[in-house]
Structure 1
Amino acid sequence: MDGLMLDSERALLGCLAQAGGAAGHDLPEDFLLSLIGSSDAHTRARIAGRVGMDAVDALLHDSYARYDGIVAAGVPHRPGIIELLDTLATHGIPRAVATSTRRPLALRKLEAAGLLRYFEHVATSSDVAHPKPAPDIYLLAARKLGVDPAQCLALEDSPTGVRAALAAGMHVIQIPDLLVPDEGVRALGHRIADSLHEVRGLLQPLLTLPA
């Protein structure tokens, strides 16, 4: 969801930086980028390790309050997501969201952005024991769709999400946003595309083949 369908990573990291600065804590860009794809619990633990347990709750409360205003207005889409989702819907391809965001916020973000209607199911970190990079969220999404994970295509922006989808046994295309795949990520063997428009171009010939 975040960074793949919604241009939300920049907004959320910006809110964290602003809240940190207001509280007198420096959260540098490389630290913030390292949080991409993490669950809420992991993010909280990482920030607490930097600012201290006494400060983390107030900092996150301020950050999320800032972010709530952005969510309410509708987080901007990543380029090409509507065209891709329309193509998949036209061809009757089952679709689910697999996100590290907790369920209430995930549903609010998808609804406000006008994307919730495209998906039969939403699997979140609220629904599983282990967040990404564990495969749990992706395995749950496949079960909800009634599809073997080996027959699923996962679209991901973050290395954490890529590892989760691969661990679930899915085919993966990564469309990087803020994080450029390093050699370790590229060595995982999945496909990397420049944009969702490119992904749509890759899929269209397959969608027109006879069943």
Structure 2
Amino acid sequence: MSRAALPFTPMAVVFDMDGLMLDSERAIIACLAEAARERGHDLPEMLWLSMVGHSEAVCRHLLDEAVGELERAQVLQRSHALYDAVVAAGVPHRPGIIEMLDFLQARGIPRAVATSTRRPLALKKLEAAGLLPRFDAICTSSDVEHPKPAPDIYLLAAASLGVDPAQCLVLEDSPTGVRAALAAGMHPIQIPDLLEPDDAVRSLGHTILPSLDDARRLLERRLDARPST
């Protein structure tokens, strides 16, 4: 994996949501695939994986190309109903997220969410998962003009926390999110979930780690290395 140490001391940490904090990417894909099958479409897994980390507009376009606009509307309507039931029950946490949030809170480090999900659903998911009170700011695709990989949402998160983007650490799972964080002048750590980084992603030069626990230990080593005052 890339890099063994953080090159700076973060003043804030910004979190992606789906696939990073919540094990929701698998649930979303399962609901989409089930809805498509109910409509008679047996679509390849690679199609669903290609949607990971992208905005709703991009996902709609990909589905339009696969089944047509009218069928896409039916598939999405059904998949949303299936996914609502998952969200209401509380999407499971990704391993290590509670330990990471506990660690940051204990150190007094501000925290924000920057998610491609629209605001109403993002708030519902975070609340059902018990994570909403853990953050100082929630930034969603509803709040910006341009979605990831544009930097807008990460710049908004930094502004919401009152921290310079260059002093923000970003935790992401998707290449799209990593590119957005880099475009914002932030320092991303990628913790891949469903998509393993290819050579093009690795060439971006950011930190890639296997788990949130590894990211927490990396951050802890950096913070503990700070000179005492």
Q: TM-score, normalised by structure 2?
A: 0.90
Amino acid at match of 2:121: L
- CA deviation string 1:147-200 (max 9, x = no partner): 110000000000000000000000110000000000000000000000000011
- Tell me how far apart the structure 2 counterparts of residues 89 and 47 of structure 1 sit (CA, whole Å): 40
Q: 15, 20, 27: which one pairs with 2:43?
A: 27
CA positional deviation for 1:205: 2.4
User: Match of 2:12?
Assistant: none
Q: 34, 38, 43: which one pairs with 1:18?
A: 34
CA positional deviation for 1:58: 1.1
- CA deviation string 1:28-77 (max 9, x = no partner): 11111000001112111211111101111111010010000010000000
Q: RMSD of aligned C-alpha atoms? A: 0.9
**Which consecutive unaligned segments of at least 5 residues does structure 1 have?**
none
CA positional deviation for 1:124: 0.6
- Tell me how far apart the structure 2 counterparts of residues 124 and 20 of structure 1 sit (CA, whole Å): 27
User: Match of 2:52?
Assistant: 36
Q: 193, 196, 199: which one pairs with 1:183?
A: 199
Answering whether residue 69 of structure 2 is matched by residue 53 of structure 1, we say: yes
After TM superposition, list the pairs within 5 Å mapping 1:1-211 onto structure 2: 1-208=17-224, 209=226, 210=228
Amino acid at match of 2:54: S
Amino acid at match of 2:111: R
CA positional deviation for 1:80: 0.3
Higher RCO (CA 8 Å, separation ≥ 6 residues): 2
Amino acid at match of 1:64: H
- Tell me how far apart the structure 1 counterparts of residues 47 and 79 of structure 2 sit (CA, whole Å): 16
Q: Is the 8 A contact 1:39 1:100 kept in 2?
A: yes
- CA deviation string 1:68-97 (max 9, x = no partner): 001000000000000000000011101000
Q: Is the 8 A contact 1:91 1:207 kept in 2?
A: no
- Tell me how far apart the structure 1 counterparts of residues 195 and 114 of structure 2 sit (CA, whole Å): 19
Q: TM-score, normalised by structure 1?
A: 0.98
Q: SS of 2:195's equivalent?
A: coil
CA positional deviation for 1:26: 2.2
- CA deviation string 1:131-161 (max 9, x = no partner): 0000101010001001110000000000000
Alignment coverage as a number of residue pairs: 211
